Structure formats: C-alpha cells, structure tokens
Amino acid sequence: MALLDVKDMTQYFGGLCAVSEFSVALEEGQLAALIGPNGAGKTTVFNLVSGFYKPTRGEILFKGRSIKGLKPHDVTARGIARTFQNIRLWFDMTVLDNIRIAQYHALGYGLLDCFLRTPRYMKREREIEEHAMNVLERLGLREVAGEFPKNLPYGVQRLVEIARALSIKPALLMLDEPAAGLNSSDVEGLIKLIGDIHKDFGLAIWMIEHQMDVVMSLCSWIKVIDFGATIAEGTPEEIQNNPEVIKAYLGDDTI
Amino acid sequence: MKRLSVPALLAAVFAVLVWASQTGAMNIYWQSVVMFMGVNIILSSSLNIINGNMGEFSCGHAGFMAVGAYVSSVLSVALFAKSAAFGDPLLSPHLAVWIFPLVLLAGALAASLVGLLVAIPSFKTRGDYLAIITIAAAYIVKSTIENIGIIGGARGFMGMSSVMRAMNDTANLPWIMIWVVLGTIFSVWLIRRFIYSTFGKGVDAISQDEIAAEIMSVDTDRVKLVAFMVSCGLAGLAGGLFAHILGYVNPGSFTILKSTEVMVMVYLGGMGSLSGSVLSAILITLLMEALRPLQIVKWVVIPLLLVLLMQFRPEGIMGRRELADVFPGLRKFYKFKG
C-alpha cells in the first residue's frame, strides 16, 4: 500500500482547471519530485494535499485513510509536513519557540492544565522542549535556538523551516522549492542535507524544485506537469530524454 | 528566593492595601482609585490577549465587561439582598462572603459565552471586518440590557452596596478591596500562565503568520476560541468587580468610550506585553485622576496623548518586551518565563 495515494485529483478555480486528473502513489521512504514550468499547478497540488483547498473531484489517501476535506492542521497531525516557497517562520519568536509551537498536534494537555500547571502540563512542556532541542541539535542549529529568525541569514532561516517541519515527525515531508534563493554552494549543502534527512529520519520526501541538479541528484522518481495536466513521469533518465518535457520547458521548434 | 519573591511581594501589597483601607490610613478616594486601577489592569491585560498577542482589533471590550457586571450584580442582589425586583434574598446574607467569588465567576463565565459572538466569526474573518463585528457585539449587549425592564433598563441597576454591607456585618473587613486585589492578581496570573505555555503561544503564532500556524498543526479555530473566551471572561470579571465597587451599574458605563479607554491602555503599554498592559493601566488610571480638575478637557488631553504616542513611539512603552527584557537585573529576583 502506498503511503500517499492521490487518485484523479481535479481542482477548478471558477472555470479554470488548475489541476486535472492528477494521480500519484508515493511509497514509504521514497524521494520524489514534482516539476513543471511556472504556473503549471505544482503548488496547487501541494495545497490540495495539505488541506488548504478541497479538491473538486478525486481522492487523497494517506496511510490508507482519506484525508480529503480535512483541515490543514489535521492533515499535518496525521504525518504530512511541508515547507513553503517563501519562508514562513514566525519571525518575532525565538527559533526554539518556532519548533515548540509545531508540537501543537501532540500537546497532550488542555487549558485547565495550563492554568493549574498540572504534572501532565509540566511533563509535556519539558518533553516538548527536549524534543525541540534535539531536532535543532541534529540540524546543527543549537546555537541559534534563542535567536529570532528575522536576525538570521536566509540560508539558516531555510534550515530552521526544515527543522520545524521535521519536528512534527512526519512520514511525508513536502518541500516547496527548497533551493529557491540559495547560491550554488548553499545548493550543494542543501542536496547533502536533504539526502541525510531522508536517510536519518527514514521519511518520504516529495519536492517541487526548479533546480535540476537538486532534482536529478536526489530523486528516484519524477512527475512533470504542465497546465495542470501530467505530461510525463518516470526516473530522472527517462524524464531528461522525454520529448514532451523538453517541449514544455523549451517550447516547440516548429513555427 | 526566585520562586517566592513575586508571591511575597504580592502578599505584602495585598496586606498593606487591606490594612490601609481597614484603618483608614488610605482615605475613601484613594481606595477607589486603587480599586479602579485593579479593574483597569484586568481589562487591559485581558484585551492585550486579543489586540496584542493575537493581533486582532477588538473594540468591544466594554460590552463583555457589561455582561459580567450585570450577571454578577443580578446574582448577588437576588441571592443576598432584599430588592424590589427580586424580593427577599434567596440565601442568608451571611453566606455572601463565601459565595461572592462564585458570583463573580458566574459573571465571567457568562461574558466568555457572549464572547462566542465574536469568537465564532473570527474563524473566517480578520482585521477590520472582525473589528466591526466586535463593535456590533458590544452594541447588541448594550441594547439588550437597556431593554430588559427587570434589571432597570437604561436607568441602571442597584442594590450591590447592601450585599457589600452584608459582608461587612459578617466580618468587619474592607471586602471590596480584598476582592478587587485578589481578582486582579488572579487575572494576571491566569493570563501569564496562558500566554507562556506552548498552548498560548499558538495565539502569537496566529498573529505572526496564520497560514504557517495552521500548516504547523496549530488548530487555529480552537486557539481563537480559547483566546477570545479567556479574554472576554476576564473582562466580565472586571465588570463584576466594577459593579460592586460602585454599587450601581448602568448601560451608559459600557459605551465605546470605555472600550477606547482600555484600548489606549493596551497600546500605551505595548502590544503583546503583559507587564506593559499592567503598567499602563496603572499610569492611565493615575493620569485620569490627575486630569480630573480639567473636567471635559480631559477628553481632549488623553486622545491627544494617544496621537503623540502613535507619532513618536508607536510600539508603546514596552514594545513587545516584558519588564525582565527591559531590566535584565530583575531576572535575579524572579523567573519571568516558564
């Protein structure tokens, strides 16, 4: 059984078909990519899976259960974490607090515990903080735990965002253009980082990416969409030589 | 020492205030100033949850205060006093001392339920639109009260002073001062525990980036619901105390002017700063008293202060920081966070 099984997902915005008959089956631990020219509908696919939109038609199964129509926080609580194209950290809160808040799905206490500081509250708060520090440690971010993200360089902010997504302990991590805005040496670091995360945390990663060296060196399986429709899928080698893909990216040579 | 310094300080303040009110070392005028200070502290620190931490704009705080004021007044008069509206007391007036906190709590609960009127629309609405809903909610409350005959309608409702007298007959202590000081400490303590928990930090997360909050597993609807209910409930508690200090309430005390006054306190203190809200509530109360000789001109001077504040220090006295961030030396005496 596939970890994420999307069947014939279709999304209309008014009369515009943003995503049409999109299907994908991601296995546990798979590293896959979703590529396509600008405006192809890639981010819409991510938004549909993570619950921001409810698809017009089709089915989304995660671990065999339907997640279609769930609120984003419920989808995340079931084990799908994602990052955004532009960084969406809480910039006026410390890095540690950023990670702590991402443990909301597993808070394990209510308002009364919080008022009365019950043993359960104290225990969970301690565990949450320990867990957050562990995640930061693993990504080499321990030193910046007390900093505000707004004061950190762009590359580190990206890293914090990935750390925050990982702290949810997802089974599937969706990265929306993780290499956007990084220079070439940062990109090399990112490729290594994503590879390491994939190995260490044993999770499936699905990414949208424009930088082909990231996609080709990491992903075992690629899906290409254009104008909401799937135009190709397969291994990196197959995609590189696919005439449809070349046409979508570079245009037709007939005039 | 770190653990006990704040409780010890509060206990000392409490003891001094009660002693001074009992012996008359503090005259009636100053007693009432101190009590209104307490009410204002509760109002501004509770509004701060919505306007400061959550980054919404509620202009209807006086409405929730009115709910608390009326519910607790009606309850206390019906239970412990002889009145034209409700006849003989339902319970012995001597029980007032023991049951009064529950009466206040009932007012707070009622106010937090009315807070749903704002909390539920907040799931879908933000910013200016929600601000208009908060004004509407306050007007709904005010006109409802004005049209209920049995509680006096627009003329107001009285009889709470006989409840306070009944408490005095039971034990000769400055009861209202005791309740106000305890209520203030209780409220600030509650808010502090709320906003420093991971649970409460969800409120800040919503203000800084709601979409990120939702995707990072924060149940934003639930957080908004809880934040609005806590905030409105405490406004209700402040209202209950306010009504019992005056011994008389009327709908005219809970207009948009009152809400504005509380908003000024929040913005002067610094949005999202609990200690800022407390400090500015104290400052504004003193300022209002100091400007009393100006009479109506007071309402020119105070708004003018707000204009100047927004021009020269828009982040308020404390900004987003707390006392311990401004004076790190204080950390030696108490643990501010956690």
Lowest mean pLDDT among A79-93, A162-176, B284-298: B284-298
Nearest alpha carbon to residue A90 among A33, A148, A131: A148
pLDDT at B3 over 80: no
Which chain A residues contact residue B338 at CB under 8 A?
125
**Average pLDDT across chain B, whole number:** 91
Interface of B with A (CB under 8 A): 190, 193-194, 197-202, 204-205, 208-209, 211-221, 226, 230, 320, 338
Which DSSP category does B52 fall into? I
Residue of B nearest to A80 (CA): B215
- Reduce the DSSP state of residue A246 to 3 states and report it: helix
Q: pLDDT digit string (tens) for B13-71? A: 999 999 999 998 899 999 999 999 999 999 999 999 999 999 999 999 999 999 999 99
SS3 A19: strand
* Confidence label for B1 from pLDDT (cuts 50, 70 and 90): low
- How far apart (Å, rounded) are the C-alpha atoms in residues B21 and B142? 34
Residues of B in contact with A88 (CB under 8 A): 209, 211-212, 215
Query: Residues A29, A202: contact at Cβ < 8 Å?
Result: yes
Interface residues from chain A to B (CB-CB < 8 Å): 50, 52, 71-73, 76-77, 81-82, 84, 88-93, 97, 100-105, 107, 109-111, 114-115, 117, 121, 125, 128, 164-165, 168
pLDDT at A254: 66
- Rounded Cα distance, A176 and A163, in Å: 14
Predicted pLDDT at B333: 72
The residues, ordered by sequence, that sit 6+ positions from B333 with a Cβ below 8 Å of its Cβ are B1, B2, B5
- Edge-to-edge, what's the strand order for the sheet holding A221-226? A80-82, A172-176, A204-208, A31-35, A221-226, A229-234
Q: Cβ of B10: how many Cβ atoms within 10 Å?
A: 16
Average pLDDT, chain A: 92
Torsion of CA A182, A184, A187, A192, to 10 degrees: -150
Judged by CB atoms closer than 8 Å, whether chains meet at A97 and B201 is answered as yes
B3/A22: higher pLDDT: A22
First to last CA, chain A: 46
Asked if B197 and A73 come within 8 Å (Cβ–Cβ), the reply is: no
pLDDT of B171 higher than 90: no
Residue type, A214: V
Does pLDDT of A253 surpass 80?
no
Centroid of chain to Cα B191: 11
A121: its two tokens: 């509250």
More confident residue, B319 or B77: B77
Sequence letter at residue B95: L
- Give this complex's ipTM: 0.90
Look at B201 and A100 and tell me if their CB atoms are within 8 Å. Answer: yes
Model pLDDT, residue A255: 60
- The pLDDT, as a whole number, for residue B337 is 54
Backbone angles phi, psi at B84, to 5 degrees: -65, -35
Over range B82-103, report the average pLDDT.
Answer: 87
Of B193, B219, B221, the CB nearest to A104: B219
Say whether B215 and A73 touch across the interface (CB within 8 A). Answer: yes
pLDDT mean over A37-48: 92
The tally of CA atoms less than 13 A away on the side-chain side of residue A183 is 4
**Per-residue confidence (pLDDT) for residue B338, from 0 to 100:** 43
Number of CB pairs < 8 Å for A and B?
90
Decide if B91 contacts B135 (C-beta within 8 A): no
Q: Quote the percentage of chain B above a pLDDT of 70.
A: 98
